[in-house]
Amino acid sequence: MEPLIQVRILAPEPVFQMPELPEVETIRRGLEPHLIGLTLQSLTVTDQKVLDLSARDGRLAGLEGQRIETVTRRGKYLVIALERHYLIIHLGMTGQLTLRDPRLPDAKSFERTVTGLEWCEQHAPDRHTHVHILLGDGRQLLFRDIRKFGRVYVLERVSNELLAFFETHHLGLEPFTPDYHLESFLAGFKNRTLRLKSLLLNQAFVAGVGNIYADEALFEAGLHPARKAPSLRRVEKERLFLAIQTVLERGIEFGGTSFRDFVNSEGEKGTNQEKLYVYGREGEPCLKCGTPIVKTVISQRGTHFCPSCQPRRR
């Protein structure tokens, strides 16, 4: 009998960095003043793959003629409320949502970034632009997504529909809302045995945190990313609770984290890259103590930390 050979294949580190809460919030703030009150004139979809089932079979066209009332966000989901429907967009790994004014010049080409993504101030629809929305004032809202992990959803705007949607998508505590308080945060630790990095990436724990802000929050709280959730003392949980809001707030303040790939809805790059303490800084000195930042892999995700500021055990 042949021996069983176990081969463990590690997924390669994704080249693209997914937009997280601060990036989506920056896009939301950029879009909101432009979109509210406008009519959604028409919608053109060139690739059905980015449409969730709820948005297929012409259901997206049902939004035509409706006025945009609010532009909100939950976790990494952008929610555009129309008169009778919600248009929900998740940017996935490489999604861009930009406004285009056809009277203004488009960029001649995209700039290639270190992470493989492309950006420009304003672009004409191209083969990666899968949803074109014509607005009442002649401008366009374009959804461009090279890798097509982004998704567009349509929901009827009836009571509890939105709540049910986010329950289905397992979204946990929403930072910056009254629901995000210490007691609910501590309750989230119950029955969770994951390593801290994995816990933070779990959207059912706190919504909107991804790879960048998970690393930054653990550095801010002085916690080793490989520690298991049950090993935390209460005071450490309290530090983490505050750290998450601190790093997300910083991210929003600086317009999202820019790897030359994230652009807000007006085509401007975020500037948070210089404000990161550990993410993407492997081998560079810790900004607090000078120890070189270490990069390791936890749950198949590249994880950055300072071995001095974030010891395995205090």
Binding-site member from 21, 63, 97, 286 for Zn ion (CB under 5 A): 286
* Choices 16-24, 79-87, 222-230, 300-308 (CB under 5 A): range interacting with Zn ion: 300-308
Distance CA 19, CA 28 (A): 12
218 touches Zn ion by CB under 5 A: no
Annotate 266-295 with b (16+ C-beta within 10 A) or e (fewer): ebbbbebbebbbbbbbeeeebeeeeeebbb
Distance CA 295, CA 282 (A): 6
Nearest approach in angstroms of CB 221 to Zn ion is 13
Q: List active site positions.
A: 19-20, 76, 301
* Choices 68-76, 104-112, 273-281, 289-297 (CB under 5 A): range interacting with Zn ion: 289-297
**Residue among 289 and 297 whose Cβ is closer to Zn ion:** 289
Nearest approach in angstroms of CB 227 to Zn ion is 16
Give the count of residues interacting with Zn ion (CB under 5 A). Answer: 7
Q: Residue 17: which residues within 8 A CB-CB, separation 6 or more?
A: 93, 115, 210, 211, 212, 257, 259, 261, 262
Which run of H or of E encompasses 226? none
312 touches Zn ion by CB under 5 A: no
309 touches Zn ion by CB under 5 A: yes
- The site for Zn ion (CB under 5 A) is made up of 286, 288-289, 291, 306, 308-309
